[in-house]
Structure 1
């Protein structure tokens, strides 16, 4: 069969599977664990149709680092009218202290060109595909993994101008149709109010690591969903972050990790330093670890820490 039917679907990571094995051994929690972490719970079975029916906003068609010792290699670039994507690989340090990151400097002429897509074109829990599969399905020229909204049931999720979830729980990031972004308290507003104010996309993970051009204090103490199947985000880790330099001028960063000699990963503070060094005035941490993936022009450009891509629920992308 053509299209998605021929794509191989992948399940959750071995880490979560291992955690489930321990849960299953307890007996009483077996049914809960399987339901919570393995069974797909589809809330919206056709995201494309849902967005077409509910959208109130018309979508558009369609280099350096602060470390003086860093080696910077410009990999490639893409231009479409007034929109440009410049991809750079940055390597700093040496030996066990080596850090390798990938930086995409993205300028668009319409903020709605920064889009979101879900695995299998469905919204719900435990629905996953790799970043590259979701990107290919949506004809993306560039993509990164998103906030893994399918792992949780809370948060405000607005994607491409349409509300998918309205259960404020944490510090979110809002992308507006005029090209600016804002960090906000999900518990102090509603999804409908955000859409009315011009919000195009939201992300619900965090924390915010840069605000007003400065590194946010206390980010090393933040815990994000440290429940079964997830863990602390402290220490040296693979990372994904998004930031804004100016209206309609974004910077996306993926830092590889857990691979001594190639890239150890970075702390949240180091990630924030990378973002400020790139000129970001606001920056936000996204799902990292094995999820951290950057896709450009038909291929994955970084080296995900699992030895290959891990399935995720959603991506941010720019269509080709």
Structure 2
């Protein structure tokens, strides 16, 4: 049959031609599958993956590709490693080549899960990639295959910083991204809320979270508070912003001691002082960095009452454990087939599952974004934002919360 390429970040393979049918698995972005059938109105195709996974996928996210040229008889046969994910069974050295004679350039810890890029001829060594783009080789003795679409991955992306991604299919598809930051073990920890571009209105111009991270040499960043666009008649973008649009945040904001937006009584605020002590709604000492959000989700280790349970959207949240040592950034994907989004109540439940004592939500929807700096020093998206119905497109927002892990 004809070959089709997947255009969605992750595409369901279902038992029948419709979203009411059970999910059998996922296809990843750019995977190529064979079409073996189509429903009467052409909206769903029956497809088969090379590993035998067969089912129905939405035709909207499949594009026809040209038949590949005949294989080169001199090329080695394809391996069964590339594209699979592997769990580390014990701490193992990572090297710059396939063998113990190569230099150790790092290590992987037990239960980390990494993506395989290739293997040596006898598959005794596997070249892998981490989400920050770091690649190295590890002995396959310490790796166990978990498939092409693992339900969860764990990676230590920086010292004291662990990334968790979970994918679930029931009762609805949902992908969650969590950065767990041990503020006591991270060296040279510095926070930054988006600084104002000027002292007078408008103090902010919209930037994507990736741009904020790159412009300010941060290693971690998420989107921040809701915001309002300024009237372009009074504040034409070309006169006030080198790029982006003039905006004002919805509530209180401060960047390294400069307060540039006043507090609205109904909205919670996260305060961070110069000692990196984090509090909610009440600053500890002089305000240094501060950023507001939409609502408190968890208070004193319990879910806040009255949270919405029905509206499913992409979500962004921040929380801490009781003594403030552990900080959590959370983004939940939504508005796509692979992840429909979450309610505020579900978001609070997830925060509680990580032992969070206090937490609040930031702006969600198309604004929800989580970014880290890659090994190439370029921003790398961890989640899949959906802006203006475009999967993978970041929205330019007003302010952000960033973390630097470098010595100044």
> Which TM-score applies when normalising by structure 1?
0.63
User: For residues 2-151 of structure 1, what are the structure 2 equivalents within 5 Å?
Assistant: 71-79=151-159, 84-94=160-170, 97-109=172-184, 113-118=190-195, 124=202, 127-149=205-227, 151=229
Equivalences, count? 226
In the alignment, structure 1 segments of 5+ residues that lack a partner are 1-62, 64-69, 186-193, 222-233
Cα deviation for residue 220 of structure 1 reads 2.0
Q: 1:282 to 1:138 in 2, by over 3 A?
A: same
2:326 match: 249
After TM superposition, the structure 1 stretch with the greater mean CA deviation from structure 2, 288-297 or 118-127, is 118-127
Larger helix fraction of residues:
1
CA distance in 2, matches of 1:173, 1:111: 24
Q: Is the 8 A contact 1:179 1:247 kept in 2?
A: no
1:198 match: 286
The answer as to 2:304 corresponding to 1:207 is no
Cα deviation for residue 92 of structure 1 reads 1.8
The answer as to 2:307 corresponding to 1:219 is yes
> What SS is found at the alignment partner of 2:205?
coil
Cα deviation for residue 125 of structure 1 reads 6.2
The answer as to 2:401 corresponding to 1:313 is no
1:287 match: 363
Moved over 3 A (4+): 109-112, 118-123, 148-154, 178-183
Cα deviation for residue 146 of structure 1 reads 0.9
State the structure with bigger RCO (CA 8 A, min sep 6), 1 or 2: 1
CA distance in 2, matches of 1:105, 1:121: 33
Q: 1:179 to 1:139 in 2, by over 3 A?
A: closer
CA distance in 2, matches of 1:115, 1:205: 16
Q: 1:238 to 1:296 in 2, by over 3 A?
A: same
Q: 1:136 to 1:176 in 2, by over 3 A?
A: closer
> What SS is found at the alignment partner of 2:348?
helix
Q: Is the 8 A contact 1:183 1:208 kept in 2?
A: no
Deviations 1:244-302 (Å, cap 9, x if unpaired)? 02324200000000112x11100000000000001110010000100100001221111
Cα deviation for residue 168 of structure 1 reads 3.2
Q: Is the 8 A contact 1:119 1:314 kept in 2?
A: no
The answer as to 2:262 corresponding to 1:166 is yes
Q: 1:153 to 1:141 in 2, by over 3 A?
A: closer
Q: 1:159 to 1:120 in 2, by over 3 A?
A: closer
In the alignment, structure 2 segments of 5+ residues that lack a partner are 1-110, 112-149, 230-247, 374-378
1:302 match: 383
Residue of 134, 159, 184 corresponding to 2:281: 184
After TM superposition, the structure 1 stretch with the greater mean CA deviation from structure 2, 251-260 or 140-149, is 140-149
Q: Is the 8 A contact 1:241 1:252 kept in 2?
A: yes
1:189 match: none
Cα deviation for residue 166 of structure 1 reads 2.5
Q: Is the 8 A contact 1:119 1:134 kept in 2?
A: no
After TM superposition, the structure 1 stretch with the greater mean CA deviation from structure 2, 293-302 or 250-259, is 293-302
Structure with max Cα Rg: 2
